[in-house]
């Protein structure tokens, strides 16, 4: 089992990974953190540090922010830390074989789905978008594939009809931290043997892009409502309104027959759009250059809706 003389390295980047890092820091000897570089964000494009970097600073753990793991200086630092165990949670980069083989206990990943369903970069969004009734956390030993490694443990979590990717991220990040702490002692002692994933039921959740948020009203309203929740807070969903994007942060479905795909309506004193099946009612929107507002407030200034 890992002792105070052995070394643990953590790799992660967004908010999802912070509870995992904090849980590890309170129970295991962390010698280093690897996270993504600061990225431009906001209107001013000012570099913003990843959440894991900020947490590492607070915890006083050494960290590096390589653009690519394969860079010689990055590999030199990893070897210098001499990890016996590497823990990964939403890191955002592919681990080369040299890294997978570096630690005696290998690389253990905290993944936000019930593998083999939703392998890939956006499993939480994919589960909501597909209308899944549940998702969960998988603790797995990583191999050279994309989330194809053998499973150590899993814990399911119901998806609420009101869940967004943001709310589900919060629930799963806490669940992931707890499950990792339950799993590691049994794995490190040799009691827990990784089990190969079945190929049956395997699905893939690709990385999201901002353009994925454009709503296509040829789709049913039920699917579009799930998309609004799945893509909140990022990349967000939107439609064209007077040549600019109208962002939609909350919506619900009316089963009233559609009078024609893409027609703009007013229902329940809210803006609404007809789809191929049903009507999408826009409860909360953000016009270009303005703050988020209720659909009712939007209609006050959009009389030509």
pLDDT tens, N- to C-terminus, the chain (305 residues): 555 557 999 999 999 999 999 999 999 999 999 999 999 887 777 899 999 999 999 999 999 999 999 999 999 999 999 999 999 999 989 899 999 999 999 999 999 999 999 999 999 999 999 999 999 999 999 999 999 999 999 999 999 999 999 999 999 999 999 999 999 999 999 999 999 999 899 999 999 999 999 999 999 999 999 999 999 999 999 999 999 999 999 999 998 888 999 999 999 899 999 999 999 999 999 999 999 999 999 999 998 99
80, 85, 91, 97: CA torsion to nearest 10: 80
pLDDT score at 15: 95
Phi, psi of 276 (to 5 degrees): -70, -20
Query: How many Cα atoms occupy the beta-carbon half-sphere of 13 within 13 Å?
Result: 15
pLDDT score at 3: 56
Angle (CA) 141 116 105, round 5°: 0
Least Cα distance to 134 among 106, 118, 156 occurs for: 156
pLDDT score at 44: 75
Q: Token pair for residue 20?
A: 């995992």
Entry pTM? 0.94
pLDDT score at 41: 80
Instruction: Give SS3 for 118.
Output: coil
Contacts of residue 112, defined as CB under 8 A and 6 or more positions apart, other chains included, come to 16, 90, 123, 124, 135, 137, 169, 172, 176
pLDDT score at 2: 58
Burial of 4 (0-12, 13-18, 19+ CB in 10 A): exposed
pLDDT score at 5: 59
pLDDT score at 43: 72
**Rg of the chain (C-alpha set):** 22
């Amino acid at each position: 089992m890992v002792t105070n003389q052995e070394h643990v390295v953590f790799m992660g980047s967004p908010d999802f990974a912070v509870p995992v890092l904090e849980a590890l820091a309170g129970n295991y000897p962390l010698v280093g953190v690897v996270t993504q570089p600061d990225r431009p964000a906001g209107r001013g494009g000012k570099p913003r540090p990843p959440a894991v970097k900020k947490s590492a600073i607070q915890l006083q753990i050494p960290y590096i922010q390589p653009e690519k793991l394969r860079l010689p200086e990055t590999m030199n630092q990893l070897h210098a830390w001499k990890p016996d165990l590497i823990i990964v949670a939403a890191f955002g980069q592919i681990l080369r074989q040299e890294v997978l083989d570096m630690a005696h206990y290998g690389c253990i990943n905290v993944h936000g789905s019930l593998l083999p369903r939703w392998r890939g970069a956006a499993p939480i969004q994919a589960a909501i978008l597909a209308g899944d009734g549940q998702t969960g956390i998988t603790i797995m030993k990583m191999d050279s594939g994309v989330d194809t490694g053998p499973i150590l443990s899993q814990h399911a979590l119901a998806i609420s009809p009101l869940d967004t990717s943001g709310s589900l991220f919060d629930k799963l990040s806490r669940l992931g931290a707890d499950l990792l702490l339950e799993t590691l002692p049994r794995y490190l002692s040799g009691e827990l043997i990784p089990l190969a994933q079945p190929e049956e039921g395997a699905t893939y959740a690709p990385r999201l892009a901002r353009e994925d948020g454009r709503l296509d009203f040829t789709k049913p309203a039920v699917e579009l409502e799930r998309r609004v929740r799945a893509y909140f807070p990022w990349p967000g969903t939107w439609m064209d309104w007077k040549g600019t994007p109208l962002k939609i942060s909350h919506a619900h479905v009316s089963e009233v027959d559609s009078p024609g795909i893409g027609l703009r309506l007013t229902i329940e004193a809210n803006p609404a759009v007809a789809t191929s099946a049903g009507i999408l009612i826009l409860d909360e929107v953000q016009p270009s250059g303005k703050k988020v507002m209720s659909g009712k407030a939007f209609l006050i200034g959009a009389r030509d809706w």
